[in-house]
Structure 1
Amino acid sequence: MNTLHSRRSVLGVVIGSMLLPSVVSSSPAFAEDAANGTTPTFVSTGAAAARENLLSAIQQGKPDAEVLAAIDRLKPFNPLPPTSSTAAKSLEGEWRLLWSINDDFSPLLRLPKPFKPNSFQYFGPIAAAEVGEGRVAQGLTSGLLGNSQLWLSSGTEPLPYKTVESGNAPYRLEIEPPFRFQLGGRLGTNQPKRMIVEAGNDADFRKVNARTKEAQLAGKNVYEQIYVESKGKGSLRISTITEGDPAIIGTILIHEKM
């Protein structure tokens, strides 16, 4: 067996479980309902009703198509202010993953309880304290990881807003190197982190993550925040990857602020 290839494959599985909780179809579920002449599952209108419908679908374990339909109904009510400074402030803190779609690419997140770890994202000062100023982080902890935590961090660069037909434009972040994949303790424990992988560019990081040559040569990942609440604990955030690594374009994640 090629030892280097084997190690890369293992890293690809673990890192993929952090970066790739889901890959989503580009066709909105409600469009399929309309085409089939059926009544969409969620017919309520207004931001509060749309939010309630989405949370209800997640909590009840509804089919992915119904959750996607609920997301599409909530997106037009995005309350995120259309300026980079206020948007960045709204993202600050610890966010727990509530839902993702098609987790064939995230074996750790497909594990049954009690082995399945929890997934988190960190922005702002809380991330800076763990992985350095100007960086964001993702973490997997609990479950089979116990009190240990896998940390994946990177830099970010805000991108210009895109024009949208209605509502607030999504806040867009370009994901920047260096990329660091580390093993340490949970948030706030001050346990030293052990470096597993560090890469100075996208191509090298994707190579370690067993990506194809095409993926290695692709542009930087763009992480788009399509719905962000700034109400403190319990706020919802919906995000997606729109550019970059072909393996993760289309990923949609729903997080709740801790």
Structure 2
Amino acid sequence: MIPAYYLIKWPYRLGCRVADRFRGRPALAVYCTGPLDRVVLLPVMRHLPPALWVSGNGRTARHLRSEGLAAVRYPVFPRVVIMARHAQYRFPDTGVFKVGFRHGAYHFKQFAGTAYYNAFDLYFMTSRADVEAGRKRGIRSARSAGFPKLDPAFDGTWNRETLMPYAGRAGLLPGRPTVLMTATWDRSGMSAVGRWLPVLPRLAAAMNVMVTVHPFTSRSCLKSLSGTPGVFLIREADTLPYLMLSDVVVGDTSSILAEACALNKPMVTFRVPQARRSL
């Protein structure tokens, strides 16, 4: 467990006891560390009782409120907490039932440490194959649940009419093929962004080009992408509408490729060097 766990463990447990005695505790909370967490978990929460949305920082709190969610800042002391990150250490009390979801649909990397998964009471992975792979590594908390982030692609939320504003925002020209370029973090050792970034101007001259990259992507890389004429850099956390608008997806080890598979999108991928967490 990371050092922060041991720093907050006893103060947090004391907070739980105080809340039990004087204030009561919320039945269910959703913990978000960034905008993507809301996108991943919102389809889940539509099937559950009303929950308290909790942010780990001010930026996320402002984002949640801009989306109409009455968010509060951590700490809170719920009976059950749901999250899409390995942030269970922020709720270090056995009286808090901790539920985790993956924020990417498939893994092209080794699992994080087994202890991070087993610290959850229940951890949902995207497939039975993932669960079996996890069990071979000693992960006991995993169950298969699919990838709820994709639900809006199949439940009627996104259709020709609702996607039109996104096509306009991206500046997609009728009659041109549309390519979605994707990449994981450029300094991860597993990214192919350097392979295709130099040819973006040529691609943009012949087709609609949209780009989405990992949130940790370096500023220098983002500057190059945003400064390329004819290229639309997606800055929203929810990339699904743009993925649905694409004709072909280019990627590396980014988990968005699994979403492209689910939507039956043609893909072009690159071989990348072996890195510390490569499978």
Instruction: Give yes or no for TM over 0.5.
Output: no
Bigger Cα Rg? 2
Structure with greater helix percent: 2
Greater RCO structure (CA 8 Å; 6+ sep): 1
TM-score by length of 2: 0.24
TM-score by length of 1: 0.25
